[in-house]
Amino acid sequence: MLAQNKNQNKKMRRVPMSAAVANAAETIGAIETAKISCRNTAALALTVVRDGVITGEGPTTRGRVHFSRALDADDAAWCARILTATAVEHQPVSRAEAEALFEINDAATERSDDGRFDDLLAKAVVHHAASESGLPVPPRTVALSPDTAIESWAPAHRVVDINVLEWIASQMRGKPRSNRTLMSLVATLVGVAALPLAQLPSVFDIGM
């Protein structure tokens, strides 16, 4: 009976892929990094991972048991491989890629990845924010590696563009699951603390 209910819940939560995402799944296949030619295809590939997290089905979930709304170590590994594909390795993380990661974060109510995705999300967002603010960033294979401390390259105590901060706040505000690592990093490493005090409530009202 329990298994039947799980199957019913999975069917109810199934979200049909858009034509673009379905095409991405077909073109990228099992999301081979060799098929990722630019940041746009990387972002599209991340939406395939997102759909797999939501439905528990699709090319990124084959060969293992995967419940809907769950994120495991393999899902986090897919995201890491996509983001560090050769074609995009030396480019800053794009807004579309970062937003796709936020969507995955929102979709995954259950986690079994030992914190790898949260680490990847925080580093990817700071990589994007720093680049958008005109600051230098290392290659993705360095910046996003679990073996690289973000403090070793994040722009400590440098004010990031206010529009970028507002975008980060909009992505995190009111969400049931917050990335405490990212919140702390934005506050202490990329300059929120250096902003005029009067601006903080409107820019970064995300429950810190």
The model scores a pTM over 0.75: yes
The CA-CA-CA angle for residues 40, 43, 47, to 5°, reads 135
Report yes or no: 122 and 181 within 8 Å, Cβ to Cβ: yes
Tens of pLDDT, residue by residue over 69-124, are 999 999 999 999 999 999 999 999 999 999 999 999 999 999 999 999 999 999 99
Pull the structure tokens for residue 130: 């720093």
In a domain, 17, yes or no: yes
Q: Residue 206: its pLDDT value, please?
A: 46
The conformation of residue 190, written as its DSSP 8-state character, comes to S
Please tell me the distance from the alpha carbon of residue 138 to that of residue 123, in angstroms, as a whole number.
11
In a domain, 205, yes or no: no
Q: In 3D, which of 84, 79, 85 has the Cα closest to residue 101?
A: 79
What integer is the mean pLDDT of 177-204?
Answer: 58
In a domain, 77, yes or no: yes
Cα-based distances in Å from 163 to 50, 87, 88, 192, 204? 26, 28, 24, 12, 11
In a domain, 170, yes or no: no
Q: Residue 151: its pLDDT value, please?
A: 85
Q: Give how many domains the chain has, as a whole number.
A: 1
In a domain, 167, yes or no: no
Report yes or no: 150 and 185 within 8 Å, Cβ to Cβ: yes
Its domain, for residue 71, covers 2-147
Residue 182, pLDDT above cutoff 90? no
Report yes or no: 95 and 161 within 8 Å, Cβ to Cβ: no
Tens of pLDDT, residue by residue over 22-53, are 544 454 454 566 689 999 999 999 999 999 99
Q: In 3D, which of 190, 185, 183 has the Cα closest to residue 156?
A: 190
In a domain, 208, yes or no: no
In a domain, 16, yes or no: yes
Tens of pLDDT, residue by residue over 160-179, are 787 888 888 788 776 766 66
Please tell me the distance from the alpha carbon of residue 67 to that of residue 54, in angstroms, as a whole number.
8
Question: In this structure, how many other beta carbons lie within 10 angstroms of the beta carbon of residue 104?
Answer: 25
Residue 203, pLDDT above cutoff 60? no
Please tell me the distance from the alpha carbon of residue 101 to that of residue 99, in angstroms, as a whole number.
5
